[in-house]
Copies of this chain bind each other. A is one copy, B any other.
Amino acid sequence: MKPETRKDEIINTAAKLFKEKGYSAVTMRDLATAMGMKAASLYNHINSKQDLLKAIIISIAEEFTNGMTTIINSEMSNISKLKRVVTLHVDITANNTNGMASLNNDWMHLEDQLEYYLQLRDDYENNFLQIIKEGILASEIKQSNPEVIMFSMLSTLRSLYLWIPKKEDLNANDLAQSLSEVLIDGINT
C-alpha cells in the first residue's frame, strides 16, 4: 500500500459523499467541510469537481475490464467463469464500496469520459453474456433466456455496494460463496 496522498484523501472523501447524496447534490463546500478545509483550498490538489468523478469511476471501470479479460481468456467451465465473475465483483466492491456507488449512479454526469465509460460497460456486458450463452450451449446452464440470466446476476452484483458495508461480519470469500450458490444453484428445493 502506497501512502495516501492528500489528493487521494480528497478523492476518497468525495466518493463517500457522492455515495450518500449523489454527485450533483454534493457541493465543493460540502467536500471541503468533510476534509476540514475551505473550498478554495481543494483546488490546490485537484482541477475540478468533474475530475473527481472521473478519477473515481474510470479506475474502477478499468479494473472490471481487466478482471473480465483474465476470466474470458482462462481455461475453465463456463459455470466456473461465472463464479469467478461473482468473486471479481465482491472483491472490487469490498475494496471500494463508495466508488461503486458513483460507478452505478453517477456515470451519466461524466463529461469527457462518458463515451469511454459506456464502451467499457458495453464490452463487459457482451463478455458476460457470451459466457452465459456458451454455458447454455455446453449444457452447463439451463435453457433460459440468457439476457434474463445476465440481468439478474448483474443487478445483484451491482447492488453489492449497498450490502457489503452492512454485513461486515461476512468476509469476502464467504459472501462470494453464498452469492454463487443463490445466483447459480437457485433457491428451490
Task: Give me the interface of A with B, judged by CB distance under 8 Å.
Answer: 20-25, 79, 105-106, 108-109, 139-142, 144-145, 147-149, 151-152, 155-156, 158-159, 163, 167, 175, 178-179, 181-189
Given contacts A24-B22, A155-B155, contact A184 B187 (CB under 8 A): yes
CA distance A147 to B175 in the complex (A): 11
Contact between B188 and A186, CB atoms less than 8 A apart? yes
Contacting A25 at CB < 8 Å: which of B109, B156, B181?
A: B109
Beta-carbon nearest neighbor of A154 in chain B = B159
- Chain B residues in 8 Å Cβ range of A148: 175, 178-179, 182
CA distance A185 to B152 in the complex (A): 13
User: Lowest 3 CB-CB distances: which A-B pairs, in order?
Assistant: A186-B186, A155-B159, A24-B24
Contact between A144 and B108, CB atoms less than 8 A apart? no
- Chain B residues in 8 Å Cβ range of A79: 188
- Chain B residues in 8 Å Cβ range of A158: 155, 159
Beta-carbon nearest neighbor of A184 in chain B = B188
CA distance A155 to B158 in the complex (A): 8
Contact between A141 and B187, CB atoms less than 8 A apart? yes
Beta-carbon nearest neighbor of A140 in chain B = B189
Contact between B178 and A145, CB atoms less than 8 A apart? yes
